[in-house]
Each structure stands twice: as C-alpha cells, then as structure tokens.
Amino acid sequence: MSLRPTNLPLTAKGFDEEKIGVCFGCGCYCGYIAYLKGGNIVDVYGHPNDPNGMGSLCTKGIALLQELPKNPMRAKRVLLREGEEFREGSLEEVRRRVGKRVGIFLDRLTTDLRDLLTSLQLTDCVYSDAVHLPFRPSTLKPQSWSSKKVIVAIECDPVFSEVMSVRWIVDAVERGAYLVAVSSRFGTVAQKASESFLLKPPKVVRFLESLADAIEGKKAPEKVDKISRAILGLGDSLLLIGDTLLRTPWRGNVLSALKRIRLRTGIDYSFVGDVTPIKTKSLSDLLREATSLDTLILTGNPFAYINDTEPLEKTFKVHLTLFPNLTANSSDAVVPVRSFQEREFTGFRNGFGNLKTSGPVLSSEFWTLSDFLREVFGAEVPEDLSVPDLPPVEEVEFEGTEVEEEGIYLLVDRTLVDDVGHWNLWTHEVEREQRVLANERTAELLGGELKIGDLTLKITVNNNIADETILFPDSFEETQPFDPGIRAGKVLPDPDIRVFRYS
C-alpha cells in the first residue's frame, strides 16, 4: 500500500512541502507525514492511513524523525586521527589508507539491507549485533496479535523495542484474551497481563521449558499446567519471545521449547527485537579475527559492548557515524553517515520478518555505507534486495544446555532510551543518571551497589525487576554528552552474551 499526503494538513505550522516516509526506529515501520520548511522538518505526524502506526508515532520515533537530523552534536565532517586529536580530512585520504583485508560492522539504525548485501559482496568478514534466526521470525503480522485468545510473552515487552506493537497486545486483552507475562522485568505487557511471573532469566527459560513439558503431557508445576490447558483448550494462541534470551547460553533451550510447543499445538509465534534472516558474524568473532583485518568499517556504537579494543589497535578503523560516540573516539577516521530519513532505506532487521522501503524525506551530503564502500573500495551495490525464504521453526534443529538457576544474574539490556537517545536531551531526560536496577531484596543483598572489578554503580531499587536480577541499561557510555557513564562492555565477559551469573 502506498501512502499519499492527506487532503488537509495535520499541522498548524507553516510549511512549504509535505513528504511521506517510514520510521525505521524499530520493526513497527510506522508511516509518517513530515512537514518541511526550508528543507527542515518542522512537524511530523503518524500517517492516519498507515496500518502499522495507525496515525501514531512513539516518542523514540518522534525524537529520531524530528530531532536527530538537526541535532547540533551530529558528526558533520570527515575527520582523521593525528595522535590523540582529530583533524579535518577527506574521503580521498581515507581511501589512501585502507587495506585489502576488510571487516564491516553493521548497525540497525543507519544501515539497511542494501548495505548488508553490498558488504557481503566485498568481504566474508561482515559483523553485526543482530541475532540470526535460521527460520521465519514470525508466523503472523503484529496486527493479527489482537485476535488471539491466549498470548504468552516470554522475556518480551515490545515497549522496549518495537514500541507501537504493544497496542495489538492491549487490543487483544480488551477483546478478552488471556495474557501471560513471564519476564525478568515488568513493563507494559505485565501491567495488562491476566497473570504475570517475575523471574530471573534462567527461571524464565525453565518456565518455557516446563510449558513445553506440560503441553507434551509431562508433569509440570500447576501454574504452568494452567497456561498449557488454556493453549490446548482455547487454541488460537501466540507466543511472543524477545531477543534478550537469544543472547544467552540458553538460546538453544528457548528455540527448542518453542519448536516443541509449535509441533504439538501449531501455535503462532513472533520474535521481537533485533533479529536477522541473513547470518553475519558476531562481536566476539570480530575480536577473534581482529588481528587478521587491516581495515575495519564500523557503524553504530559496537565498542560500547567491548571492554578492551586492544586487539584492534593495529587495524585502521573507519567509523561511519551519526555522533562522535565511543566508537568514533576509538577510530582512526570518522565519516558522517546519513540517517534513515536522509536516504532510501530498506529495513529488514526485525522480529516480524518484514521488509519495508522508504525514499528519502530529507536531503543530505553525508554518506550511506553502500556509497562509501562503492567510492572507497569499488564495491558493487546490488539491485535485487531480497532475503531468503526461511522454513518455519519446526523444521530446524536446536540444542539446549543445562540451565543453572542458582545465584544472582546481571542482565545487560535496552531500556526506553536506546544508544542514540543520550545524544538527545529530550530522551536523555528519561534516564538521566547511570544506575543499575534491582529489587529491594537483591539491592540489600548487594549492599546497595554493584561492584565489578574497579567499577562501582549505585543500585536504584525497582520492584519490577525479578529477585536476584540486576538490570544494567546498555545505553550509557563514556563519551555521551549530558551524563557520561560506563559502557556495558566494561561488565560483559563476552560481548555476545548479555545475561551472566554475577555471584
């Protein structure tokens, strides 16, 4: 469906042009109308005819659409490192310094499917932080969630990632759905749930495995049995799974439990978060292969998840970035990148498995990753943008591991502020000071502080966090402007594993 401007403008502000675009702040892909004056967005509204946003945009989307392009802190010039300082440079100078053995890291916000496919043509060392799923990430569109009779959300609150899709869950509840939230932290879904279970991450995994047992007719705790009876009795059920547990050693356990439940019940499922149908290497692969690379092209802020960039010391690092963040400060060259509304963008990294393309709404003299790779390396940019047709989950094999439930767990995860958020005063207000969160009992057990090595962070007591769980928001790092913090990588033993035993 193609959207056009409305007959009557939605804004009261003066404008000379209106343009239609898609927000790629998450996989909801909300359509919007931007009102432009002098080439700048002066107002933005969700498009009333768009089936995804249905006329609404979330605060993250509004901040990205309206404030990010003109953010005064944006990187605007090509910079080259000279000792501890940067000086203004040119793309030609960058080109003279790159080598042949190239690695490329792709983020979710500034790189699209075209950039990924271009990168894969150039090198086999393509990295990202997305979780690869070798099967269809969703059996239905999020709009169809609202007709479900039973919804079980496993470590999944879309309000932290695919924001507007929460409305389809709320719709389902208003139509009488039985909603169950099982998670190590509670958000909107738990508030709306008929039943909610606040459990530390390994217990969430065990809960899902017990649900698979119960559905197969095996013995399970009564509270789990009740949910299995609802699924078997009412049919028309949905399992929602967030990407968090897929970044743990229990990924195989989660996927194999989903498969078992689906084989018995044909249940629908949707993943939520940053998942990809095309396999890339991971951050720990990047660290392992670092010494074999002579050039590394980076987007996003991957160094926020890495404790020590020492293995990359000798690699020439070029960072295509929106902001002078931690990764930019650890790179040898900085190149300003286009934001998604300043280019043609095809979004593909999302749990719903949908592709969506939007044309540019704003003009820009900055670079896309594909343009950069073409100009600097002569890379060919593919015309055909498609992703493989993947099998359903039941056709793929998974292997679980033993789930150890003892101890206190540290969970490094996103909050309402994502990694761009602290470059914007408005969203920074949501999370002004870096703290970790834990419930009263856990905070007391830890003496009110989290200590890892020489790092100490105060705990904010929040009883929406499971017992024996500490939430470390991953959006802080050392160079953000309003309230610098400590990057998540300082506490992560492995950049790909975001839940680990603390004590």
Task: Decide if residue 26 touches ligand SF4 (CB under 6 A).
Answer: yes
On whether the CB atoms of residues 94 and 318 are closer than 8 A, the answer is yes
Q: Which runs of consecutive H residues, i.e. helices, occur in 336-384? A: 369-377
Task: Decide if residue 29 touches ligand SF4 (CB under 6 A).
Answer: yes
Q: Which runs of consecutive H residues, i.e. helices, occur in 37-184? A: 59-62, 91-97, 113-122, 166-174
Task: Decide if residue 58 touches ligand SF4 (CB under 6 A).
Answer: yes
Q: What angle do CA 280, 472, 198 make, to 5 degrees?
A: 100
Percent helix, strand, coil in the chain, to 5, is 30, 25, 45
Q: Name beta bridge partners: 320.
A: 299, 335
Secondary structure of residue 152 in the 3-state scheme: strand
Q: In the bound complex, what is the minimum distance in angstroms from residue 365's beta carbon to ligand SF4?
A: 25
Nearer to ligand SF4, 52 or 479 (CB): 52
Task: Decide if residue 318 touches ligand SF4 (CB under 6 A).
Answer: no
Task: Decide if residue 489 touches ligand SF4 (CB under 6 A).
Answer: no
Radius of gyration of the chain (CA): 23
DSSP string, 390-417: PPPGGGS----------S-EEEEE--SS
| Binding region for ligand SF4 (CB under 6 A) out of 51-59, 120-128, 318-326, 361-369 | 51-59
Task: Decide if residue 180 touches ligand SF4 (CB under 6 A).
Answer: no
Nearer to ligand SF4, 168 or 377 (CB): 168
Task: Decide if residue 158 touches ligand SF4 (CB under 6 A).
Answer: no
The owner of tokens 């209106």 is 18
Of 20, 28, 272, 492, which one interacts with ligand SF4 (CB under 6 A)? 28
Nearer to ligand SF4, 53 or 201 (CB): 53
Q: What angle do CA 137, 287, 414 make, to 5 degrees?
A: 45
Nearer to ligand SF4, 207 or 271 (CB): 271
Using CA atoms, how far apart are residues 203 and 154, in angstroms rounded to an integer?
11
Of 68, 104, 116, 164, which one interacts with ligand SF4 (CB under 6 A)? 164
Nearer to ligand SF4, 118 or 244 (CB): 244
Using CA atoms, how far apart are residues 23 and 147, in angstroms rounded to an integer?
25
Task: Decide if residue 211 touches ligand SF4 (CB under 6 A).
Answer: no
* φ, ψ of residue 240 in degrees (nearest 5): -105, 130
- Of the candidates 282, 183, 293, 180, the residue with the CA atom closest to the CA atom of residue 234: 180
* φ, ψ of residue 311 in degrees (nearest 5): -60, -20
Distances from the Cα of 176 to the Cα of 141, 149, 230, 233, angstroms: 20, 7, 13, 15
Task: Decide if residue 30 touches ligand SF4 (CB under 6 A).
Answer: yes
Task: Decide if residue 25 touches ligand SF4 (CB under 6 A).
Answer: yes
Strand bridging mode 333-336 / 79-82: antiparallel
Q: In the bound complex, what is the minimum distance in angstroms from residue 58's beta carbon to ligand SF4?
A: 3
Site residues for ligand SF4, window 329-348 (CB under 6 A)?
A: none
Task: Decide if residue 300 touches ligand SF4 (CB under 6 A).
Answer: no
Tell me the two tokens of residue 50. 């768009």
Of 34, 44, 57, 230, which one interacts with ligand SF4 (CB under 6 A)? 57
- Of the candidates 321, 250, 246, the residue with the CA atom closest to the CA atom of residue 282: 246
Q: In the bound complex, what is the minimum distance in angstroms from residue 31's beta carbon to ligand SF4?
A: 9
CB atoms inside a 10 Å sphere around CB 314:
10
Nearer to ligand SF4, 58 or 471 (CB): 58
Tell me the two tokens of residue 379. 């890379």
Q: In the bound complex, what is the minimum distance in angstroms from residue 472's beta carbon to ligand SF4?
A: 23
| Binding region for ligand SF4 (CB under 6 A) out of 12-20, 54-62, 413-421, 491-499 | 54-62
Nearer to ligand SF4, 166 or 373 (CB): 166
| Binding region for ligand SF4 (CB under 6 A) out of 50-58, 389-397, 432-440, 464-472 | 50-58
Q: In the bound complex, what is the minimum distance in angstroms from residue 276's beta carbon to ligand SF4?
A: 17
Task: Decide if residue 60 touches ligand SF4 (CB under 6 A).
Answer: yes
Of 21, 53, 137, 489, which one interacts with ligand SF4 (CB under 6 A)? 53
Nearer to ligand SF4, 19 or 60 (CB): 60
Question: If binding means CB under 6 A, how many residues of this protein chain bind ligand SF4?
Answer: 13
Of 19, 21, 23, 423, which one interacts with ligand SF4 (CB under 6 A)? 23
Q: In the bound complex, what is the minimum distance in angstroms from residue 419's beta carbon to ligand SF4?
A: 13
On whether the CB atoms of residues 421 and 325 are closer than 8 A, the answer is no
Q: Which residues of 186-203 are buried (b: 16+ CB within 10 A; e: fewer)?
A: bbbbbebbeebbbbbbbb
Q: In the bound complex, what is the minimum distance in angstroms from residue 245's beta carbon to ligand SF4?
A: 22
Cα dihedral 70, 73, 79, 82 in deg (nearest 10): 170
Q: In the bound complex, what is the minimum distance in angstroms from residue 244's beta carbon to ligand SF4?
A: 18
Of 21, 61, 351, 489, which one interacts with ligand SF4 (CB under 6 A)? 61
Site of interaction with ligand SF4 (CB under 6 A): 23, 25-26, 28-30, 53, 57-58, 60-61, 163-164
